[in-house]
Amino acid sequence: MKLMARILSVFLAIPLLMFVFSVSASASAVSTAGTKTYTVTVKTADVADAGTNSKIQIKLHGNNGDAGWFDLNGSSSDPFERNAVDKDIFTLSDLGTVKTLEIFSDGSGNKSGWKVEYIKVNDGTNTWFFYYNNWIGENGAQIVTFTK
Ligand SMILES: [Ca+2]
């Protein structure tokens, strides 16, 4: 009887293990399938004092919802200077079609005003272009909404 019980427990353990492995495999598949890599390209205008050293953040809005606020750090140790093109990459849940975005400047630093020519958002397949060509954070902290 003891041997029979041991054989039975092995036969029960195998399908249980297979079930656990299949659940963990499908769980990881779901978490990667739901994300996308977003590349945000920011072009600073080519006019006097267009650059900034303020703290800059971005919030993307899509038809599936919006992302939280993320720091824009740009491509160099001194990003967002006159005529520069800066890029940031974020892995986010799939936002769907990117409809609008918000840019925050804390308005800090000397001549804080930042003249942004455009912001481009790419999700690996689609690119959305937001032309702005205007100032942000000239007179202190400010949030600007970019629409297409
Ligand atoms: Ca800068």
pLDDT at 33: 62
CA angle 115, 66, 139 (to 5 degrees): 30
Predicted TM-score (pTM) of this structure: 0.77
Q: Quote the ligand 1 centre to 81 CA distance (angstroms).
A: 5
pLDDT at 29: 38
Q: Quote the ligand 1 centre to 19 CA distance (angstroms).
A: 53
Q: Residue 143: which pLDDT band, with cuts at 50, 70 and 90?
A: very high
85-125 pLDDT, tens per residue? 999 999 999 999 999 999 999 999 999 999 999 999 999 99
Token pair belonging to 106 = 């804390």
Q: Is the pLDDT of residue 5 over 80?
A: no
Q: Is the pLDDT of residue 27 over 50?
A: no
44-64 pLDDT, tens per residue? 999 999 999 999 999 999 999
Q: Quote the ligand 1 centre to 6 CA distance (angstroms).
A: 70
Q: Quote the ligand 1 centre to 92 CA distance (angstroms).
A: 26
Q: Quote the ligand 1 centre to 112 CA distance (angstroms).
A: 9
Q: Quote the ligand 1 centre to 138 CA distance (angstroms).
A: 14
Neighbours of 53 (CB within 10 A): 15
Q: Quote the ligand 1 centre to 10 CA distance (angstroms).
A: 65
What is the distance, to the nearest Å, from the Cα of residue 146 to the centroid of all Cα atoms in its chain?
A: 16
pLDDT at 34: 87
Query: 42, 74 in Cβ contact below 8 A?
Result: yes
Beta-sheet strands, E only, within 1-147: 35-44, 56-62, 65-66, 70-71, 85-93, 98-105, 114-122, 127-136, 142-147
